[in-house]
């Protein structure tokens, strides 16, 4: 069934998502190369990525309930201030421990932006408008990340500080789009207690576990791969293009969601893409060809798109606590990034730069098995609930 987009309500969310991930794309591409230039090895890159991811996870657990109770505009302003400071300071940093502290600040600041924005989106639209709107917002941030990856690598090659100063402009634009938005629910409505569907928590847990699975691969490829890339001739510009390819891989799923999002609701689609990406990432233990690496990044992007859309929609579709549920969605993404980057950094530091790719892929397979168990358990609970409700 084709879904229509309520553009009058949605375009500001799309603009904010595009601009914020344009900024994040530039930062995340340039950051590991700045770290390597001041002495970071594989373990250092893993720790750096884990600090930003870990800070985001923990802060989302605090900021997401706040976004259901307090001014969402206020939280977004705080995010703008924090991110602006981080980008300014990173442009002037030449010491690794300072870079680690700033990465921590980046995760904390970003956590003040996404849960309020997603909670605001879910509260501003009817359920029949939400599928297409979610797809449009996802297309927007994927395009921002794609362009940000290319720009970040190019700006870093031109002059290092530019890669960290340039993101300030889209950050301020993203926050202004929401702070000055006339859309309702800038301050959330009072929470309502909705009846609990049997098995709903297990179904959501499976969705969030899928996020963790996908982002463990992303933590490896985005956070630790640059050290191997440096060895095989992948410089900052080339890495920026690979990361842009990752963003490009998300787009087919997000474009499909604009009109036919129900195709992506099937949990089997997400799990098949996770297994595909795991197999592709495992090949990096041997592969060095740039063309093949491009396909690996595209496959990680594809599974990210399919699972991210489903995770965000399932977190927003039910009544009540949308800020909290979207915060958990975001936290599970960064938890995966943390696990993937820290574990792969440790493996690379101990057993060599090619060592992490097969173990992290096997971790993804194990997480897929856990998702299957949770989904089947949730389905049995729902079936039993329907049977009890029947006259």
CA nearest 100: which of 35, 168, 36, 43?
35
245-249-252 Cα angle (round to 5): 140
Question: Which secondary structure element, helix H or strand E, spans residue 258, and what is its range?
Answer: helix 236-260
Higher pLDDT, 258 or 150: 150
Enumerate domains of the chain plus CATH numbers.
13-189+197-386 (1.20.1250.20)
Given a cut of 60, is residue 192 above it in pLDDT? no
User: Binning pLDDT at 50, 70 and 90, where does residue 388 land?
Assistant: low
pLDDT at position 2 is: 46
Of 99-103, 138-142, 165-169, 293-297, the poorest mean pLDDT is in 138-142
- The DSSP secondary structure of 28-40, one letter per residue, reads HHHHHHHHHHTT-
Map tokens 């603009």 to a residue. Answer: 15
Given a cut of 70, is residue 258 above it in pLDDT? no
pLDDT digits (tens, 9 = 90+) for 70-123: 778 889 999 999 999 999 999 999 899 999 999 999 999 998 998 888 888 877
pLDDT digits (tens, 9 = 90+) for 289-347: 999 999 999 999 999 888 887 887 777 776 666 667 777 887 888 888 888 988 998 99
CA-derived radius of gyration, the chain: 20
pLDDT digits (tens, 9 = 90+) for 113-125: 988 888 888 777 7
Given a cut of 70, is residue 389 above it in pLDDT? no
Given a cut of 60, is residue 226 above it in pLDDT? yes
Mean pLDDT, range 354-359, rounded to an integer: 95
pLDDT at position 1 is: 41
């Amino acid at each position: 069934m084709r879904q229509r987009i309520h553009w009058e309500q949605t375009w500001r969310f799309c603009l904010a998502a595009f601009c914020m991930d344009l900024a994040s794309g530039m930062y995340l591409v340039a950051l590991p190369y700045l770290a390597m230039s001041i002495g970071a090895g594989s373990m250092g890159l893993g720790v750096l990525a884990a600090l930003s991811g870990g800070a985001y996870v923990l802060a989302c657990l605090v900021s997401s309930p706040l976004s259901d109770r307090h001014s969402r505009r206020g939280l977004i302003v705080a995010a703008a201030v924090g991110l602006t400071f981080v980008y300014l300071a990173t442009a002037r940093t030449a010491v690794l421990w300072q870079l680690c502290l700033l990465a921590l600040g980046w995760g904390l600041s970003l956590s003040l932006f996404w849960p309020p924005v997603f909670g605001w989106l879910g509260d501003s639209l009817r359920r029949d408008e939400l599928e297409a709107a979610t797809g449009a917002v996802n297309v927007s941030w994927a395009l921002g990340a794609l362009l940000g990856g290319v720009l970040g690598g190019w700006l870093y090659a031109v002059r290092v500080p530019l890669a960290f100063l340039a993101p300030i402009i889209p950050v301020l634009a993203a926050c202004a789009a929401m702070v000055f938005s006339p859309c309702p629910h800038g301050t959330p409505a009072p929470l309502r207690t909705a009846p609990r569907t049997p098995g709903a928590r297990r179904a959501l847990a499976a969705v969030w576990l899928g996020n963790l699975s996908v982002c463990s691969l992303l933590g490896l490829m985005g956070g630790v791969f640059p050290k191997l890339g440096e060895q095989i001739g992948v410089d900052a510009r080339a890495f920026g293009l690979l990361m842009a390819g990752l963003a490009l891989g998300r787009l087919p799923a997000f474009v499909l969601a604009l009109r036919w999002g129900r195709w992506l609701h099937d949990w089997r689609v997400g799990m098949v893409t996770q297994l595909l990406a795991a197999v592709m990432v495992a090949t990096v233990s041997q592969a060095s060809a740039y063309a093949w690496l491009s396909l690996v990044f595209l496959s990680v992007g594809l599974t990210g798109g399919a699972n991210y859309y489903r995770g965000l929609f399932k977190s927003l579709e039910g009544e009540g606590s949308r800020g909290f549920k979207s915060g958990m969605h975001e936290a599970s993404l960064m938890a995966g990034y943390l696990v993937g980057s820290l574990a792969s950094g440790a493996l690379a530091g101990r057993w060599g730069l090619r060592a992490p790719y097969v173990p992290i892929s096997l971790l993804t397979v194990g997480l897929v098995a856990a998702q299957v168990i949770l989904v089947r358990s949730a389905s049995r609970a729902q079936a039993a609930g329907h049977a009890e409700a029947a006259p």
